[in-house]
Amino acid sequence: MTTTFNKCLMAGAIPLAILLSSSAFAQEGTSKGEVEVLNWWTSGGEAKALGALKDKLADDGIGWQNMPVAGGAGTNAMAVLRSRITSNNPPTAAQVLGYDAQDWADRDALSPLDDVAKAGNWDEVFPQPIQRFAKSDGHWIAAPFEIHSTNWVWANKSMMDELGIEQPDTWEAFIASMKKAQEAGHTGLAYGGQPWQDATVFENVVLATGGADFYRQAMIDLDPKALDSDTMVRSFDRFRELLQYKDDNSPGRDWNLATAMVINGDALYQIMGDWAKGEFLNAGLKPEQDFMCFRTPGTQDAVTFNSDLMIMFKNDDEQQQSMQNTMAGIIGSPEFQVTFSQLKGSVPARTDLSSDGLDACAQRGYEQAKAAAESDTLMGSMAHGYAAPAGVKNAVFDIVSSFVNGNMPSDVAAEQLAMAVQGARS
Ligand code: BGC
């Protein structure tokens, strides 16, 4: 297999970073060769979590060629992945989300992972809502890293204490607390104005407004009657209300910079998936001492989730195949599932592990995710590729972001949402 590294050598262009990392491989010993892994884990917390995989592979004598493509939720990474496949130069493996994994499996691009899955008893230990995406036609096609969940609020604890803000349980109390922060000269809601982040916050509001059944009807079943309904109009109304508490510099802001606003005491809250917790932890902060985590008010009874899946591309090289299997085995192993989540902010995707090593937020999150999987309220995130295929997801992004960036009335937004989803499906 011709690696990017070899191609750089042939072209005579060897960036310093590659030289440095290749000498690091030599020290670790790369008797078995190296894997090239495409991912979008570029923030501080994300890179640390990814480093745990690199280290584990190094213990097995497998070298690491990182292929990072910055951009939250993988929007940019997926474009790069498509172009790599089109030019017949797939990486060894790639981080993807639910429907994208299914899409690559449908294109017959993936190595089956059934042997590794069988050895690790994956059928028994991963919950059904994840198997639904990590298997295709009864075969395992992806290794699940974790369960992330999107209906969380991350809060600056000293600001809450200073302003006498109790953890809000209702939407009204949530809004009132942001108003209080705003009046004291802070930003109420740390916000990153990018389509996937708009959609992440929006799906929280839909769940808070309509409850689990409505979320499912609208976001997963894509029922036009739910998409263009009074409840959806109310969701857009509430979304507009929430947007009053973001600052003027939010357009284009990366999610981790929004998290930093809460960390630094510039903003009270961020509504974001629990990868945000990875940033707090990376900054040396402790949950419930330095920062607070709670379910978005009104969404306490359900969990919207996504799970990063590692897919392995078909390869004729037996050495590559064996390294792919080793990597999948590591990702699915009990020890790695805990170590990774401790750094990433997530909870293990396996449901058979002790939560002793997890922090306070993750202990709650793990129990909630497992309970939700049992009661059928572990529902796929629209913003993160687990509610609908990419075409529909992007259509939702378009409407939601137009709403954020303009003056679209709520009833028009609901109507447009239903039309856009319909259009993307036909
Ligand atoms: C991924 C996370 C990632 C986040 C921000 C999500 O779609 O599942 O692993 O940290 O995007 O990029």
How far does residue 226's CA lie from ligand 1's centre (Å)? Answer: 28
pLDDT, tens digit, 9 for 90 and up, residues 113-143:
999 999 999 999 999 999 999 999 999 999 9
Report pLDDT for 26: 39
Mean pLDDT of 64-82: 97
How far does residue 372's CA lie from ligand 1's centre (Å)? Answer: 21
Q: 349 by DSSP, 3-state: which?
A: coil
Mean pLDDT of 85-92: 96
Buried-exposed string 114-149: b where 16+ CB fall within 10 A, e elsewhere: eebbeebebeebbbebbbebbbbeeebbbbbbbbbb
Confidence class of residue 13 from pLDDT cuts 50, 70 and 90? very low
Atom 1 of ligand 1, residue of closest alpha carbon: 73
For ligand 1, whether the C-beta of 278 sits within 6 Å is: no
Q: Which helix (H) or strand (E) holds 148?
A: strand 148-149
Q: Report the percentage of the chain scoring pLDDT > 70.
A: 93
User: Which pTM was predicted?
Assistant: 0.93
Q: Is the pLDDT of residue 291 over 80?
A: yes
Confidence class of residue 255 from pLDDT cuts 50, 70 and 90? very high
For ligand 1, whether the C-beta of 73 sits within 6 Å is: yes
Q: Report the percentage of the chain scoring pLDDT > 90.
A: 92
Report pLDDT for 19: 36
Q: Walk me through the domains of the chain, giving residue ranges and CATH numbers.
A: 5-148+306-365 (3.40.190.10), 149-305+381-425 (3.40.190.10)
pLDDT, tens digit, 9 for 90 and up, residues 393-409:
999 999 999 999 999 99
For ligand 1, whether the C-beta of 40 sits within 6 Å is: yes
Ligand 1 atom at shortest distance from the alpha carbon of 46: 10
Tell me which of 239 and 3 has the higher pLDDT: 239
For ligand 1, whether the C-beta of 46 sits within 6 Å is: yes
Tokens of 202: 């929006």
How far does residue 275's CA lie from ligand 1's centre (Å)? Answer: 6
Query: Strand pairing of 309-312 and 93-96?
Result: antiparallel
Least confident of 8-22, 49-63, 233-247, 412-426: 8-22
Question: How far is it, in rounded angstroms, from Cα 7 to Cα 132?
Answer: 38
Mean pLDDT of 243-251: 98
For ligand 1, whether the C-beta of 198 sits within 6 Å is: no
For ligand 1, whether the C-beta of 156 sits within 6 Å is: no
pLDDT, tens digit, 9 for 90 and up, residues 15-54:
333 333 433 443 444 578 999 999 999 999 999 999 999 9
For ligand 1, whether the C-beta of 308 sits within 6 Å is: yes
**Does residue 125 contact residue 141 with C-beta atoms inside 8 Å?**
no
User: Which residue do the tokens 């080793």 mark?
Assistant: 326
Report pLDDT for 31: 76
Of the candidates 244, 411, 425, 278, which has an alpha carbon nearest to the alpha carbon of residue 346?
Answer: 278
Mutate to test the pocket of ligand 1, among 148, 194, 272, 307 (most ligand atoms within 8 A of CB): 148
How far does residue 371's CA lie from ligand 1's centre (Å)? Answer: 23
Report pLDDT for 32: 87
Mean pLDDT, the chain, integer: 94
Least confident of 2-11, 52-61, 392-401: 2-11
**Does residue 238 contact residue 208 with C-beta atoms inside 8 Å?**
yes
Report pLDDT for 86: 95
Helix axes 275-282, 44-59, angle to 10 degrees: 90
